[in-house]
Structure formats: structure tokens, C-alpha cells
Amino acid sequence: MTEQLPEPILEVNDLCVSYGKVEALHHVSLKVRPGEIVTVIGPNGAGKTTLLSAIMGVLPFSCGSVNYQGDAYDHIDIEQMVARGMTLVPEKRELFGEMSVADNLLLGAFMRRRLGFRDEAQTLEKVYGIFPRLKERHLQMAGTLSGGERQMLAVGRALMAQPKLLMLDEPSLGLAPLIVREIFRVVADLRKLGVAILLVEQNARAALQVSDYGYVLETGEVALEGPSDQLEDDPKVVEAYLGLGGKKD
């Protein structure tokens, strides 16, 4: 790589996470730079969700460190990370089911409001521009939305925080292919705005197509890493995750 790369916004070094005596992550290291989509692929139970939870501060880690925007942390406080522009869209979406779509989105901007920003109305218009469906349903309770709409709302709510680093956990899980494409299109657009994206996916093909760099996580360890287009051609990845159909043109 000859061009000058920006400093990574997120650098994870030697991270270990244990559930009791079971170690779910062993010395995982990765980097995400601003304006870059980095994907972590791997089978069920490889520790992908655990990795995101530990970076966000939902789970404590037992060794290693997380370096975010130039500050190293050995213990992470979720609220502090949210205040510094890190946002996680969890696998379970975690929407506020008995509240309206509009209120869910507003709460996405909760931390920005606390920090004194008063721009949530403009951000809301932008999010409605990205997901017009959410505008149509803004008075509907979040719990009554369809699966695709719920994912749009989860992503839209995360965007309300105007994240610098957006982490998406299995955004395609349980969604129709058309909606998956829609979500990935939004993700690709966000990169153009300079947002760093860490994408965890089981849908390896789609994830590698949209991303710049990829890590393959197996049983809690990074088995393989490299630029996404190279990973797509890697025989091991093709065999294990992309199937025999090979890659699409």
C-alpha cells in the first residue's frame, strides 16, 4: 500500500473475552479506518457478536486493549463510547417496541441532545430521506413493524447519533434479499460520508462485496485477514463461506 492511509479510528489489540471459564475470544486484533468498511465474517459461535459487544462496552474483556480515536481503553463505559460517536446496531435490534417509530429515532439522538447538540430535526429528515418507509410509518409502534422495517429503524436510530464508527451486527439476518441489498446500499453510502463501519455478517458474500477489508473469525481467533477482494478469491474462504458457486461477477 503506497498511498497515505488515515490513522485508524478503532484499533483492537490482543482482545480476550471470557464467559466464566470459557474464553470466547483469543487475542483478536483488528483495525478500522475512517471511511472504510471492515467486515468480520465467520460461522455461528465464532465470537463475532462477542467482539462487537466487547468493543462497545456491553461485555468486559479480560486482556488486550481497545484504542478508539487515539485513546487506549482497558475498560469501556458504554455511555462514554456513545458520547464519542460509537454506535452499535445489535443483532436483536433492541427497539423500543411500545414507542412510535419517531420516538425511537428521537432517542437515537439522546446522547447528542445531552451533549448540547440541537440538530436532531435535520438528522431526522436525512434518515427519512434514506428510509422513506420510516417516514410513512412514523406514528406506528415499533413493535408492529415488519422485519425489514425493524432493521431499517434500528439502522436509522443508530444514524440519529451521527456516528463516527458504526458497528452493525448481522444486519441481513432474517431479511428478504431485496431488503438486504437496500441495507447494504445504505452502508456503502455511509462510507462516502466518512463514517467508519465495522460489519459483522454470516452472509459472507454480500459482506465481502461491500467491504474494503475483511477478517475471518473462527472459534474466537482471526483465522485469515486481507483486502476483501482478495478474500473473495481465497480458496479457503470460497470453500468454507462462499460455497462452490464461486463469486458473482
Partner 1 sequence: MDLQIALLLGQDGIVNGAIYALLALALVLVFAVTRVIFIPQGEFVAYGALTLASLQIGQTPGTLWLLMVLGVAVTALDAPALWRQGCRAGPKIYGLIGRQIAYPLVIAALVLGAQPKDWPMLLQVLLALAVVVPLGPQLYRVAYQPIAEASVLILLIVSVALHLALVGLGLLFFGAEGSRTPAFSDASLEVGGLTISGQSMWVVGASLVLIIALYAFFERSLYGKALRATAINRAGARLMGISTTLAGKLSFLLAAAIGALSGILIAPLTTIYYDTGFLVGLKGFVGAIVGGLASYPVAAAGALLVGLLEAFSSFHASAFKEVIVFTLIIPVLVWRSLTTRHVEEEE
Task: Single out the residue of 33, 43, 58, 173 in contact with partner 1 (rule: CB under 8 A).
Answer: 58
Q: Which of 26, 35, 65, 99 forms a contact with partner 1 (CB under 8 A)?
A: 99
Q: Please tell me whether residue 113 binds partner 1 under the rule CB under 8 A.
A: yes
Residue 76 in the binding site for partner 1 (CB under 8 A): no
What is the rounded distance in angstroms from the CA atom of residue 11 to the CA atom of residue 212? 16
Residue 66: CB atoms within 10 Å: 22
Instruction: Tell the residue number behind the cell numbers 448540547, with chain if given.
Output: 116
Residues ≥6 apart with Cβ < 8 Å to 227 = 212, 213, 214
19-27, 108-116, 176-184, 225-233 -> range binding partner 1 (CB under 8 A): 108-116
Is 73 an interacting residue with respect to partner 1 (CB under 8 A)?
Answer: no
Min dist CB 155 to partner 1, Å, is 13
Q: Does 141 sit near partner 1 (CB under 8 A)?
A: no
Residue 235 grid cell: 480458496
Contacts of 41 (CB under 8 A, 6+ apart): 48, 200, 201, 202, 204, 207, 208, 214, 215, 216, 217, 241
150 binds partner 1 (CB under 8 A): no
Indicate the residue among 113 and 185 with the shorter CB distance to partner 1: 113
161 neighbors 108 (Cβ within 8 angstroms): yes
Q: Are strands 71-73 and 86-89 parallel, antiparallel or unpaired?
A: unpaired
Q: Is 140 in the site for partner 1 (CB under 8 A)?
A: no
Angle at 227 between CA 225 and CA 233, to 5 degrees: 90
The window from 80-88, 121-129, 173-181, 226-234 that contacts partner 1 (CB under 8 A) reads 80-88
Comparison of 93 and 205: residue with beta carbon closer to partner 1: 93
Stretches 38-46, 100-108, 131-139, 180-188: which one binds partner 1 (CB under 8 A)? 100-108
Tell me the C-alpha distance between 216 and 164, whole Å.
24
Least distance to partner 1, CB of residue 100, Å = 10
Binding-site ranges for partner 1 (CB under 8 A): 56, 58, 78-79, 82-83, 87-88, 90, 92-99, 103, 106-108, 110-111, 113-114, 157, 161
